Structure 1
Amino acid sequence: MGEAPRPREHILCLLPIPEDPKILNRLRRKYDVEFTYKQVITGAGEPEIPDETWLNATILETKIPITNSSGVHGPQISEWVILQILSHSHKEKIMVEWQKKHIWGSSKELGALRDSVGQRLGVLGYGAIGRQAARISKAMGMDVIAYTASPRPTPESRKDTGKYIVPNTGDPDGLIPSAWYSGLDKSSLHNFLSQDIDILLIAVPLTPQTRHFLSAPEFEILGSKTNAFIINIARGGLINQEDLITYLKKPLSAGGLRGAALDVTEPEPLPADSELWTLENVAITPHVSGLGTTYAERSFAILDENLGNLERGRNLINLVDRKKGY
């Protein structure tokens, strides 16, 4: 009697993006696997899975390896970051209003405009997004300093290893920052924020340790030192929103912040009566900075590499650290 046929691996895909048959068929042939694909649309009004449910099922109680899609958003979110920096510094809002009203405005109405050369970008969370934003900012003449949860004292520790990197992007060797800072305590954070930061990019995961990581004391440092511009592409819960509003309304002469660009808020959607909507120095977008036509292609490139790693007994890339939760 012949041997029973080897059971095929079966992969269930639950994603918010439409199925791409070309990608799946290529993976089917390459690895002899089967796919069941279901497009799952989520958004406002959809109930979230309680933390205790998904944490117990996927993080705390099993030894099943979990990987993520970190790295696929680096280029598009970084472009959104640069868009907001330039839009604010060149007062695009005013000029857009001129165009709407058919007004040939005066340069006097724009006041003093400052380019990016010599400004300092502080990157809070030096992952794929932070590294690509640093790469572009450096090309614009900015100085970049980085902040990470864990110390990165050696050249080897500063490399972006074990992760998916879009080719020709980011800072794989960690050579761009002129200085590195680290820690999850407020003293370490305050030391970083005190380094004359002109623009702060918030790109860290939201965890119990980082909830409201930035509130009045942090905004006081940023406002009093440089009237910093705040950019948040991570999660709204990283910021105490009411404290942010207070410092955005403060005069610059009194240590206020010069502005903020927020792709994320708390809650989402941002309520229509939130004061953030009415502040002239704030730009708000509805959590869309990561959109792009290459999302599926890059996400499945990670799966492709990891299927090959499993087949050859190699380490997986983009492996989630269960203790950290990301």
Structure 2
Amino acid sequence: MGGGQNFPSREASKEKEIVLCTLPWPEERAKKGIEELKKEFKNVDVHYFHSKYENGKVAAIDVPEDVMKRASYLATLFWLPPSPSCIPNVKVIQFFSAGTNHVAKHPIYTDSKIPLCSANGVHGPQIAEWVIMMDLVQSHNYVNLWELQKKKEWKQGAGMQVSDRVGKRVGILGYGSIGRQVARVAKAMGMDVIAYTASPRNTPESKKDRGYIVPGTGDPDGIFPSAWYSGTRKEDVHEFLKQEIDLLVVAVPLTEVTTHFLSTDEFELLHKSKSRRAGTYVANIARGQCIDQEALITALEKGQISGAALDVTDCEPLPADDPLWNAPNVLITPHVSGSSDVYADRAFQVLIENIKREKSGGTLVNEVNRKRGY
């Protein structure tokens, strides 16, 4: 209306919130997620740092102290500042990994109350494909056929002993987001699915998936398993393993309870339950320590199981002289089953959802229970 000094509006003068990203991709690879984040929240600035994990070690990155102190949200895979005091204003830490066991001894985990959230749910499609791929490689004798191709040999007999998947049973040890997508694909192939969880799932409500779900995937209502087993006692796990399982998928989080979840007794039990048929094929996409590696090698050598597909080992990288490399009927990949060209995009969706919920006072997606370890 004329005259007087022009003052900035209260909104315009408000300092933007910082979303600090320390992620293992060049910023260009995360461009789509960053754009969606800025589109959803007009009052945020994204400070992006490319972190690297090389040969089992986190490479140092230089995050300015003032950025850490001003940050409201932290998105990371494995990098954390030295202590909670470095990030006094962070409201949520969003990990871009399925688990947080790799930081379980960090002061931010043990000594702070900053909510920690995982990216559980973003890995389901690609890891389920890896599991099914490995199972088919085994059941269709593809390794032998590939070796023949390299030698330019045409031997039909090498490919005749095929075991198709219809009517076979997949036992999913840890029926989370990954296990639920394995179940969806397995059911489409005509397989029977049985599930194991630590706590009981006795009601339709308790069987629902409350985490992040890639649209059109998984088992949101928990309807695929023909039977559901639960309990943390050894007897409870053994009851599940007795069910003549053709494909056993290890998908539990790594905790004190699940360390060496499968060992000598468990492999012997699997063998006994499948003694009249081809043995159980074991696929581990959890953590290497969930399986007693020495016991696994023995089980492979004795033929107690038909084989193993391992995307994780104890330790990583697996040393060149480790006997696991030469164990019979084993396929090993270097912890890559979760890789996907849309991984970052999906993980940013979880981050965006959790910022929304933090701002509205809602329940966070995939918040880690520090006592349980997941």
- Alpha-carbon distance in 1 for matches of 2:364, 2:314: 33
Q: Which ranges of structure 2 fall in alignment gaps of 5 or more residues? A: 1-6, 59-77, 83-100
- Alpha-carbon distance in 2 for matches of 1:97, 1:180: 40
Describe the shift of the 1:23–1:111 C-alpha distance in structure 2 as closer, same or farther (beyond 3 A). closer
- Alpha-carbon distance in 1 for matches of 2:313, 2:102: 23
Describe the shift of the 1:205–1:280 C-alpha distance in structure 2 as closer, same or farther (beyond 3 A). same
1:311 Cα deviation from its structure 2 partner = 2.9
1:69 maps to 2:119: yes
Contact residue 308 and residue 329 of structure 2 kept, 8 A: yes
RMSD: 2.1
Identity of aligned residues (%): 51
Alignment-mate amino acid for residue 273 of structure 1: D
1:53 Cα deviation from its structure 2 partner = 7.5
1:300 maps to 2:348: yes
Alignment-mate amino acid for residue 237 of structure 1: Q
Match of 1:125 in 2: 174
Alignment-mate amino acid for residue 39 of structure 1: H
Match of 1:58 in 2: 108
Greater shift, 273-282 or 241-250, is seen at: 273-282
- Alpha-carbon distance in 1 for matches of 2:353, 2:298: 47
Alignment-mate amino acid for residue 120 of structure 1: R
TM-score by length of 1: 0.93
1:138 maps to 2:187: yes
- Alpha-carbon distance in 1 for matches of 2:139, 2:215: 30
Contact residue 251 and residue 286 of structure 2 kept, 8 A: yes
Match of 1:239 in 2: 291
- Alpha-carbon distance in 2 for matches of 1:79, 1:298: 17
Describe the shift of the 1:76–1:196 C-alpha distance in structure 2 as closer, same or farther (beyond 3 A). same
- Alpha-carbon distance in 2 for matches of 1:160, 1:52: 24
1:316 Cα deviation from its structure 2 partner = 1.5
Task: Count residues with an aligned counterpart.
Answer: 320
Contact residue 75 and residue 129 of structure 1 kept, 8 A: yes
1:65 Cα deviation from its structure 2 partner = 1.4
Moved over 6 A (4+): 48-53
Contact residue 200 and residue 230 of structure 1 kept, 8 A: yes
1:10 maps to 2:18: yes
1:52 Cα deviation from its structure 2 partner = 11
Cα deviation code 1:202-222 (max 9, x no counterpart): 001111111111100000001
1:28 Cα deviation from its structure 2 partner = 2.2
- Alpha-carbon distance in 2 for matches of 1:64, 1:136: 37
- Alpha-carbon distance in 2 for matches of 1:52, 1:39: 19
Alignment-mate amino acid for residue 17 of structure 1: W
Match of 2:214 in 1: 166
- Alpha-carbon distance in 1 for matches of 2:104, 2:173: 27
1:284 maps to 2:332: yes
Contact residue 301 and residue 328 of structure 2 kept, 8 A: no
Greater shift, 17-26 or 208-217, is seen at: 17-26
Q: Which ranges of structure 1 fall in alignment gaps of 5 or more residues? A: none
- Alpha-carbon distance in 1 for matches of 2:32, 2:249: 37
- Alpha-carbon distance in 2 for matches of 1:247, 1:23: 44
- Alpha-carbon distance in 2 for matches of 1:23, 1:203: 27
Cα deviation code 1:252-291 (max 9, x no counterpart): xxxx111000011111111112222223411111111011
- Alpha-carbon distance in 2 for matches of 1:279, 1:53: 31
Describe the shift of the 1:6–1:55 C-alpha distance in structure 2 as closer, same or farther (beyond 3 A). farther
